C-alpha cells in the first residue's frame, strides 16, 4: 500500500475513533470498497477526472444514502473527491487492520463462493482463532471462482480449504 493510502486510512480511522464508531465505519468502508471493486462502471466513473469532483461526490452520496453511516459516506466522498478512488480497496483494508489492531485482533480475509450465514461466520471465527492462536475478525468476500469451501488469508498465512484446492490435492495424489 502506498504511503498516501496509509495516510488516508489513518485519517479515516482517526475520524471514526473520534466519533466512536470505528467498528461500523471500517466494516462499511470494506463493503463499499468491494462493491466498487466489482462494478467496472462505478469504478471508472468515480475515477474519471473529467467528471467534476462535486458530481462524483453526489454519486457516492446517492449510492450510500441510508445504506451507510454519515461518517462512512463522508469519508468515501472525501476519498473520491481527492482523486483516490482507485486506492479505496487499500484504504479500506488498512482501516480494517487499524481497527483490529486497536482491539488486539488480526484480520482474516475469507473468500467464499457464496455469502456465509452468521452461524457459519461465527464457526469460522472460532476455527481460525484456534488455528492461529489469537482472536480474528473475519471479512468475507464472495468469490464464485472459489467453487466451494473457503480460502482464508491472515497476514502472510493462507489457509486454503476450497474445493478447487482439495480437488488439486486429490489429482496430485493419484
pLDDT in tens, 121-174: 999 999 999 988 889 999 988 888 888 888 888 888 888 877 777 777 777 877
**Could you give phi then psi for residue 136, rounded to 5 degrees?**
-130, 150
pLDDT of residue 148: 84
d(CA 82, CA 5): 12
- The pLDDT tens digits for 81-118 are 999 999 999 999 999 999 999 988 989 989 898 989 99
pTM for the model stands at 0.80
Q: Are residues 60 and 111 located together in one domain of the fold?
A: no
Domain extent for 81: 3-98
d(CA 150, CA 117): 13
Range scoring the smallest mean pLDDT among 32-46, 50-64, 147-161: 147-161
Domain end among 98, 123, 154 = 98
β-bridge partners, 153: 109, 158
Domain end among 34, 65, 98 = 98
d(CA 98, CA 107): 10
C-alpha cell read off for 107: 484480520
Q: Are residues 116 and 56 located together in one domain of the fold?
A: no
- The pLDDT tens digits for 63-82 are 998 899 999 999 999 999 99
Domain end among 51, 68, 98 = 98
Q: Are residues 12 and 94 located together in one domain of the fold?
A: yes
pLDDT of residue 1: 60
Amino acid at each position: 500500500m502506498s504511503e498516501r493510502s496509509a495516510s488516508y486510512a489513518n485519517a479515516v480511522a482517526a475520524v471514526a475513533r473520534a466519533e466512536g464508531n470505528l467498528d461500523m465505519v471500517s466494516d462499511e468502508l470494506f463493503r463499499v470498497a468491494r462493491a466498487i471493486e466489482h462494478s467496472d462502471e462505478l469504478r471508472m466513473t468515480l475515477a474519471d477526472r473529467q467528471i467534476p469532483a462535486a458530481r462524483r461526490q453526489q454519486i457516492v452520496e446517492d449510492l450510500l444514502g441510508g445504506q451507510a453511516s454519515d461518517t462512512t459516506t463522508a469519508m468515501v466522498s472525501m476519498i473520491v473527491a481527492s482523486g483516490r478512488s482507485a486506492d479505496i480497496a487499500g484504504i479500506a483494508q488498512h482501516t480494517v487492520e487499524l481497527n483490529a489492531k486497536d482491539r488486539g485482533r488480526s484480520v482474516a480475509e475469507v473468500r467464499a463462493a457464496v455469502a456465509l450465514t452468521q452461524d457459519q461466520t461465527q464457526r469460522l471465527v472460532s476455527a481460525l482463532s484456534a488455528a492461529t492462536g489469537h482472536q480474528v475478525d473475519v471479512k468475507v468476500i464472495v468469490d464464485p471462482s472459489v467453487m466451494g469451501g473457503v480460502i482464508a488469508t491472515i497476514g502472510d498465512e493462507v489457509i486454503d480449504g476450497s474445493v478447487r484446492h482439495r480437488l488439486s490435492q486429490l489429482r496430485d495424489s493419484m
